[in-house]
Structure 1
Amino acid sequence: MTTIPKASVPPMHVLYATALLICLAFIFVVTTPARPSFKWLDLQHVGLQNGKLHLQGAASECYSSRLSGESTTAVELYISAILDRNDKSFERLTCPPTSPGRYDRLRRHPAAHSAQKERTKKHYFFALNLYQCAPILPRLLGSIIEAFRVLDPETCVLSVVGSRSDDSTTEILTRLRPHLKATVVTYYFGTSPINLLEPGHDRITELASLRNLTLGPLIHQPAHYVADNTIVVFLNDVAICPDDILELFYQYTLRCADLVCAMDWKDDGQVFYDSWVSRGKNGDLVVEMPQPGAWDFVRNTFWNDPASKAGLDAKLPIQVYACWNGATIFTAKPLLEHKDPLSTCGSHGYGCTAVIPSVNLADSDEQGRVVKEVQVYTVDSVNVNVVVDVDDSNIEESERD
């Protein structure tokens, strides 16, 4: 009887085969751990007793302990700075007073005969995802609160989703609640374990999930809003002034736009930050980035669109194909009526998108000072209206209405 000789397998091949089997098992057998379900912190059960904050079922014991003791003083300093524009506890970006009278049209005045239910509808929905950004909160949240006062706090909603911060961001956002309640602003705050940089997870998909959570109070409570009369503003953790926010609302309303964005900058204030998302009206990148993705020309914004370039230089609204840019405002109508992703809004007729070059932002107070010096403050850009003729790019000055 003939026997088949045993094949000799080199040890290295055995190692390769073993490694391959392990990889296949990881891909096809080991599933991604289920993420804990998201819940809004039960802010109705957050209260101060004897000067200390108590959470009832809203957070872990570890988290609750961080809200007392030595961290309390620091958190209260942040709260004071957020509520008082003249507070000097932090070196934040200096902002001018809002232009008197310019933004009066933004304050909603319901008709006297309107039913009480209609008179209490919310019109401005502020949405923020905040992570590890305590230093920017005095400027960011302080400006939002000042904008509330102009818009009418009763018509405003602030929805914030935090994520895994350990720099007091979560504590600050929690302690802010009673102060916002005193101004009759509706406030939602929750935390999520979503990690944008978690291995095996797509960053953009996770970011979209966080933003969808932030929109939850709007989407799941449509009875509190009027589809035709509700505006969403998404703000990144940026250094922004009150009139930056109000000017975006103003231009959105004035131009009957569907979506408007600020401009955000970095480095010396002349490098456009959101170069990956923004597209000009011709569909091209806003910054010149030739193959293979060279950054040599990133200062060249609207590089192949002379009319848009002229509008940028003149600080005039510019029609674009897409933008986000640190601050974006859009109509809530497609969210409340169609329940479709914002990426499909074009198919429903929402195509009027613009950037507002008079509003210029940065991702820190220090960088904000540089940007405001180079790109100037909003109030310095809105006194003169420069009109761009799209056909021949001629520029002429006229008084702003």
Structure 2
Amino acid sequence: MNRNVRSLLHAIVLLTGVALVLLNFGYFHYGYGTSKTSLIPHGLPSYFSPHNHTPSNPSPNFELTAGNPHFLAQTASYIRAISNSSDTTFPRLECPFSPTDRYTYMNKPSESAAPKPKYFFALDLHNCVKLLPRLIGSIVETIRFLGPRNCALSVVEGRSVDGTFEVLKELRNELEGLGIRYIFQSSDINPHAKGTDRIEALAELRNLAIKDILENSALYAQDTTIIFSNDIAVCMEDILELIHQRNAQSADMTCAMDWTYVGENPTFYDVWIARGMTGDSFFNIPPDGSWDYAWNLFWNDAKAQSHWQSFKPFQVFSCWNGITAFTAKPIMEGKIRFRKHLEKECYQGEPKLFAKDMWWNGYGKIAVVPSVNVEYSDEAAKKIKTLKGYTWSHVANEEDNMKIKWELDPPSRVKCIPGGYETQKWVAWNEGLP
């Protein structure tokens, strides 16, 4: 072989090596496996360790429409914002928090022989694309901290016309690339359609969100916690604290406090669902429907009021309050699912009926965690966090006497508001149950 040929071959080898280096730089530029399209950047906290594997149990694929091309073209920026909490493409609630030792015990694998997911995140979402960077972003951030193999995420989207469907659909590759079991469905159930029983429709949507646990309970750890969230602006610390308090208090269910701005000052939102251990609503609403007393929470329950004012968890009969963490056991055992009222029951919301069924089946350790405060928009959530404080600020000043002294029996009577507030009445807590 002459010198010119050898020189040519040598040059080819060098160029090939350079090309491979450049290709590898392109693949690993974002630090997460071999996906060129990964939107997760360098510089994330150390607990965001790389996970370049598929979920231990492949995510189910449901038949979905292609989506609106206009909205599909915008999904990349949303997915980037969801994947990177420091992304500033969209305005959102700031969550200045890094997990502390308080929560590190929660990211250990389940104790089963083959580790299974033990945190199941469930959501029903409609027309909330602007909220997704904060809401889904915080959930993904939480899942990274807890460990993707420990988690599953189930989302039911319904009838959205603002791009919510397209973002959630296109999010699949990113989540599965992290090793997250992602169950995404779309439903045309409309709770507000003419002739539709609103509560029955809402219950059906909630059951769709937990369908994977209802039908495939063997895939999940026996001590699985379901974290069910509404369309709220929430921080990772809020989610972690609800899970932590469920563990620390040996609670069956823990809820936040959710708020809404109907005027200059915030009002507790979930008053139709939430009931204290007095059986009464969280604030008094007279028959004329006036919310003039909304500022006076727990006016007839000194113990609950004291705990709420000092940001200490306290027991309630029922709650949902924007986001809740509860045991999956009665669901996995086939004892409970979301439902509408029975024939001899007062008409009421499916979360209140869910809590009632929890009590009936021996899961009455239900608590509100008042250090966790949420709202339904990024802008209003900023105001709530300023007014009520971030969760970490209350945890930092936590006192020793935080343990709930559980009451084993529910209140004998519970207030039901079947229609307008002029129809509210007291009924037996177990009215209509066999």
TM-score, length-scaled by structure 1: 0.78
* Corresponding letter in the other structure for 2:230: N
Would you say the 8 A contact 1:322–1:353 is kept in 2?
A: yes
When residues 81 and 258 of structure 1 are mapped into structure 2, their CA distance, relative to the original with a 3 A threshold, is same
- Structure 1 counterpart of 2:317, from 313, 317, 321: 321
The 2-side partners of 1:59 and 1:122 are apart by 25
When residues 78 and 314 of structure 1 are mapped into structure 2, their CA distance, relative to the original with a 3 A threshold, is same
1:138-158 per-position Cα deviation (integer Å, ceiling 9, x unaligned): 000110011011111101000
Residue 349 of structure 1 deviates from its aligned partner by 1.1
- Structure 2 counterpart of 1:299, from 295, 298, 311: 295
The 2-side partners of 1:345 and 1:279 are apart by 14
Residue 269 of structure 1 deviates from its aligned partner by 5.3
Matches within 5 A, 1:114-193: 115=113, 117=114, 119=115, 121-193=116-188
1:29-71 per-position Cα deviation (integer Å, ceiling 9, x unaligned): xxxxxxxxxxxxxxxxxxx9x9xxxxx99334xx44x24xx43
Counterpart for residue 281 of structure 2: 285
Residue 340 of structure 1 deviates from its aligned partner by 2.6
1:329-367 per-position Cα deviation (integer Å, ceiling 9, x unaligned): 110000111433334221221000000000000000011
Matches within 5 A, 1:6-85: 58-60=63-65, 63-64=66-67, 66-67=68-69, 70-85=70-85
* Corresponding letter in the other structure for 2:75: V
Residue 223 of structure 1 deviates from its aligned partner by 1.1
Residue 389 of structure 1 deviates from its aligned partner by 10
The 2-side partners of 1:59 and 1:218 are apart by 21
The 2-side partners of 1:72 and 1:338 are apart by 39
Counterpart for residue 250 of structure 2: 256
The 1-side partners of 2:402 and 2:288 are apart by 33
Counterpart for residue 207 of structure 2: 212
Mean Cα deviation higher: 328-337 or 377-386: 377-386
Alignment of 1:247 onto 2:260? no
TM-score, length-scaled by structure 2: 0.72
* Corresponding letter in the other structure for 1:98: S
Counterpart for residue 383 of structure 1: 396
SS in structure 2 opposite 1:149? helix
Would you say the 8 A contact 1:128–1:159 is kept in 2?
A: yes
When residues 182 and 57 of structure 1 are mapped into structure 2, their CA distance, relative to the original with a 3 A threshold, is closer
Counterpart for residue 272 of structure 1: 268
Would you say the 8 A contact 1:307–1:390 is kept in 2?
A: no
Would you say the 8 A contact 2:82–2:133 is kept in 1?
A: yes
1:197-233 per-position Cα deviation (integer Å, ceiling 9, x unaligned): 1011121111111001111011100110233x10001
Counterpart for residue 102 of structure 2: 102
The 2-side partners of 1:195 and 1:101 are apart by 43
The 2-side partners of 1:89 and 1:134 are apart by 13
5+ residue gaps, structure 2 = 1-34, 38-60, 338-353, 406-434
- Structure 2 counterpart of 1:366, from 373, 379, 385: 379
Counterpart for residue 421 of structure 2: none
* Corresponding letter in the other structure for 2:290: A
Would you say the 8 A contact 1:307–1:388 is kept in 2?
A: no
SS in structure 2 opposite 1:328? strand
Would you say the 8 A contact 1:180–1:187 is kept in 2?
A: yes
5+ residue gaps, structure 1 = 1-47, 51-55, 392-401
Would you say the 8 A contact 2:148–2:179 is kept in 1?
A: yes
Residue 255 of structure 1 deviates from its aligned partner by 0.4
SS in structure 2 opposite 1:102? helix
The 2-side partners of 1:390 and 1:83 are apart by 36
Residue 270 of structure 1 deviates from its aligned partner by 3.3
Residue 307 of structure 1 deviates from its aligned partner by 1.4
Would you say the 8 A contact 1:278–1:285 is kept in 2?
A: yes
Residue 99 of structure 1 deviates from its aligned partner by 3.1
SS in structure 2 opposite 1:76? helix
SS in structure 1 opposite 2:398? strand
Residue 72 of structure 1 deviates from its aligned partner by 3.5
SS in structure 1 opposite 2:364? coil
Residue 77 of structure 1 deviates from its aligned partner by 1.0
* Corresponding letter in the other structure for 1:323: C
Would you say the 8 A contact 1:269–1:375 is kept in 2?
A: no
Identity among equivalent pairs (%): 40
> How many residues matched?
329
The 1-side partners of 2:153 and 2:173 are apart by 13
Would you say the 8 A contact 1:286–1:301 is kept in 2?
A: yes
SS in structure 2 opposite 1:319? strand
SS in structure 2 opposite 1:286? coil
When residues 100 and 194 of structure 1 are mapped into structure 2, their CA distance, relative to the original with a 3 A threshold, is same
When residues 390 and 85 of structure 1 are mapped into structure 2, their CA distance, relative to the original with a 3 A threshold, is closer
Counterpart for residue 86 of structure 1: 86
The 2-side partners of 1:138 and 1:170 are apart by 14
Residue 98 of structure 1 deviates from its aligned partner by 2.6
* Corresponding letter in the other structure for 2:121: F
Mean Cα deviation higher: 270-279 or 94-103: 94-103
The 2-side partners of 1:338 and 1:220 are apart by 10
